[in-house]
């Protein structure tokens, strides 16, 4: 009702050449836990722009794409929403999102040259920018230096290759104490694709070359960690937040997870913890990491695209706070944090970001990702061997992206 009234209001004022700037309420769908980023930004933005209000509805990760599709199909989409970065292409390919390229080019606040290439590539489809990344995140190796010392490992020399990971993990494992050497997430969602691809990429594979020898070796490596019980079989159901909680509890010596965990770890971890670059297959092998983070998008149906973009500009202008306050790398490369918190971790992640590779972009990403998830789960449970599982995934993916 309100929406329609407002819509009517906008059209009628437009017809009478908008004499008064009527206050505008932007409907926003945000995925905001645990840091309340959008909500904080909205408060600051509203204070500076009293004629614009943001009505924020929180959505959860599992539902953002569904909600978007349903809303877009029925013309009930909000003015601004958020998508996981590999999904931007899926939605944009249906021509339902507003192309932001011109607005970005014309903006006095946003300078397209300063975007980190990874996040903005993920938001681009056929040369046009449909997503506005909130920032960028990537994976790293977190380790418990106290456990390293107790196991006779040198905490200043974290493992850098797969073999070193295996060896260190074996030393860090203590079955009696339910303590495991290594942890990753192989849960049957996007998270396992996100976690697995860097391993495959480091060995020369990728999402569209998922059954190469390197990809198979990567999956066999994961498989062996679980078979050897240096990683808990629970990796099959552990999502990344739970993986992080296990690390906080001191149950796992080393985990792979994203920089978004830094604020929480800094608060909750009671031991000496450190961060290292993602391991590679062999010394000298190419480095790789995943590229994550959400992106804002403006549906074509929005009646207030200018106000929505103005809010995005405000977010961009605050980029230099991203690292210290929220634990992710800024959208604007030049907005390096002053006096970064956790400086060693910042150095690692800023370096790791250079090797971060996107997923896709592909308009059928959810299906591509699902094929990879199935292969991971089939191999880790020994339903099939790694090679056969990845062959199946490859033929599915070939059928999808041709």
Partner 1 sequence: MKRYVLLALAILFAAIYLFPVYWMYATALKTSGSIFKYPPELWPSQPLFQVSRVFAEHDIGRYLWNSLLVATGITAITMLLGTGAAYALANARGAKANVALFLVIVLQVLPPSLMVTPLFVAFNHVGLLDYPRTAVVLATAAKTLAFYIVLCRATFTQVPRELKDAALVDGNSHLGAFFLIILPLARNGILITSVLVFLQSFGEYVYSRSFIATRELQTATVNLATYLSANSADWVGLMNYAGIYVAPILIVFILLQRQIVTGLTSGALK
Partner 2 sequence: MLQSGFARYLRDGKGFEGTLIVAAVLYLLVFAAFPLLYTVLMSFQEVDMFTLGTLVRPFAGLKNYTDLFQRPEFAPIVWNTVIFVTLSIVFQLAIGFALALFFLQDFPGSTYVRGLFLAGWILPALVVGAVWRWIFAGDFGVLNYALQSLGLIDGQIYWLSDPAYALYSVIIANIWLGIPFNMILLSVGLAGIPGDVYEAAEMDGANVFQRFLTITLPMMGPTLGAVVALGVIFTLQQFDLVAALTQGGPANSSNVAQYWSWQMSFQTYEISGGATVATMMIALVIVVAVIYVRSVQREQSF
Token pair, residue 276, equals 């290292």
Choose which of 9, 22, 23, 70 interacts with partner 1 (CB under 8 A). 70
**Residue ranges of E strands in 101-232:** 124-125, 128-129, 132-133, 137-144, 180-183
Residues that bind partner 2 (CB under 8 A): 66, 69-70, 72-75, 90, 94, 96, 178, 187-189, 232-237, 251, 366-367, 370, 374, 377-378, 380-381, 383
Residues between 40 and 59 that touch partner 1 (CB under 8 A): 55-58
Nearer to partner 1, 74 or 156 (CB): 74
Each residue 174-213 as x (binds partner 1 by CB under 8 A) or -, in order, gives: ---xx-----------------------------------
Quick one: three-class SS letters along 264-282? Answer: HHHHHCCCCEEEECCCECC
Does 266 sit near partner 1 (CB under 8 A)?
A: no
Put residue 293 in one of left, alpha, beta given phi > 0 → left and psi -120 to 50 → alpha. Answer: left
Token pair, residue 161, equals 């290759």
Nearer to partner 2, 229 or 287 (CB): 229
Q: Is cis: bond before 34, omega within 30 of 0?
A: yes
Does 272 sit near partner 1 (CB under 8 A)?
A: no
Q: What is the DSSP letter of 187?
A: -
Does 248 sit near partner 1 (CB under 8 A)?
A: yes
Each residue 223-242 as x (binds partner 1 by CB under 8 A) or -, in order, gives: ----------------xxxx
* Residue 381 binding result from partner 2, partner 1, none, given CB thresholds of 5 to 8 Å by partner type: partner 2
Among residues 247, 273, 270, 238, the alpha carbon closest in space to that of 348 is found at 273
Min. distance of Cβ 7 from partner 1 in angstroms? 12
- Residue 329 β-bridge partners: 136
Does 301 sit near partner 1 (CB under 8 A)?
A: no
Nearer to partner 1, 183 or 205 (CB): 183
Choose which of 16, 17, 74, 156 interacts with partner 1 (CB under 8 A). 74
Total residues interacting with partner 1, rule: CB under 8 A: 43
Interacting span for partner 1 (CB under 8 A) from 31-39, 115-123, 229-237, 339-347: 31-39
Question: How far is the CA of 123 from the CAs of 1, 82, 260, in angstroms?
Answer: 33, 12, 20
* Residue 268 binding result from partner 2, partner 1, none, given CB thresholds of 5 to 8 Å by partner type: partner 1
Question: How far is the CA of 282 from the CAs of 218, 291, 367, in angstroms?
Answer: 12, 22, 31
Min. distance of Cβ 74 from partner 2 in angstroms? 5
Among residues 147, 167, 155, 142, the alpha carbon closest in space to that of 255 is found at 142
Token pair, residue 293, equals 């983070």
* Residue 370 binding result from partner 1, partner 2, none, given CB thresholds of 5 to 8 Å by partner type: partner 2
| CB 299, CB 77: distance < 8 Å | yes
Q: Residues near 210 by Cβ (< 8 Å), separated by ≥ 6?
A: 200, 371, 372, 375, 390, 393, 394, 397
Does 31 sit near partner 1 (CB under 8 A)?
A: yes
Tally helices (H) and strands (E) across the chain: 16, 13
Nearer to partner 2, 261 or 378 (CB): 378
**Residue ranges of E strands in 174-319:** 180-183, 252-258, 273-276, 289-292, 294-297
Binding site residues, partner 1, CB under 8 A:
1-4, 27, 31-35, 55-58, 60-61, 63, 67, 70, 73-76, 78, 84, 177-178, 239-242, 245-246, 248-251, 258, 260-261, 264, 268, 270
């Amino acid at each position: 009702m309100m929406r329609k009234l407002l819509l009517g209001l906008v059209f009628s004022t437009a017809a009478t050449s908008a004499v008064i700037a009527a206050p505008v309420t932007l409907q926003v769908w945000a995925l905001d836990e645990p840091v309340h980023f959008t909500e904080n930004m909205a408060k600051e933005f509203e204070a500076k722009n009293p004629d614009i209000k943001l009505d924020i509805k929180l959505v959860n990760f599992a539902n953002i794409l569904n909600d978007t599709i349903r809303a877009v199909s029925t013309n009930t989409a909000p003015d601004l929403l958020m998508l996981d970065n590999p999904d931007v292409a899926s939605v944009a390919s249906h021509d339902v999102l507003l192309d932001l390229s011109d607005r970005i080019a014309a903006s006095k606040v946003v300078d397209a040259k300063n975007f980190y290439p990874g996040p903005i590539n993920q938001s681009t489809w056929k040369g046009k920018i449909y997503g506005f990344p909130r920032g960028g995140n990537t994976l790293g190796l977190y380790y418990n230096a106290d456990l390293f010392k107790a196991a006779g490992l040198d905490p200043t020399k974290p493992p850098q290759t797969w073999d070193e990971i295996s060896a260190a993990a074996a030393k860090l494992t203590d079955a009696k104490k339910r303590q495991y050497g290594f942890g990753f997430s192989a849960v049957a969602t996007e998270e396992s694709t996100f976690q697995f691809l860097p391993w495959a990429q480091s060995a020369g594979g990728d999402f569209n070359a998922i059954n190469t020898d390197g990809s198979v070796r990567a999956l066999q490596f994961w498989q062996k960690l679980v078979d050897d019980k240096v990683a808990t079989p629970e990796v099959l159901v552990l999502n990344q937040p739970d993986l992080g909680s296990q690390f906080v509890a001191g149950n796992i010596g080393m985990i792979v997870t994203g920089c978004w965990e830094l604020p929480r770890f800094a608060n909750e971890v009671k031991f000496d913890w450190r961060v290292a670059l993602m391991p590679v297959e062999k010394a000298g092998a190419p480095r790789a990491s995943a590229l994550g983070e959400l992106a804002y998008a403006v549906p074509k149906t929005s009646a207030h695209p200018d106000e929505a973009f103005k809010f995005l500009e405000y977010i961009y202008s605050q980029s230099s706070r991203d690292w210290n306050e929220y634990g992710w790398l800024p959208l604007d490369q030049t907005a390096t944090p002053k006096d970064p918190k956790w400086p060693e971790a910042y150095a690692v992640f800023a370096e790791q970001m250079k090797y971060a590779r996107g997923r896709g972009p592909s308009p059928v990403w959810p299906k591509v990702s699902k094929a990879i998830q199935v292969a991971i789960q089939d191999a880790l449970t020994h339903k099939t061997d790694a090679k056969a599982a990845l062959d199946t995934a490859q033929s599915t993916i070939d059928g999808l992206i041709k």
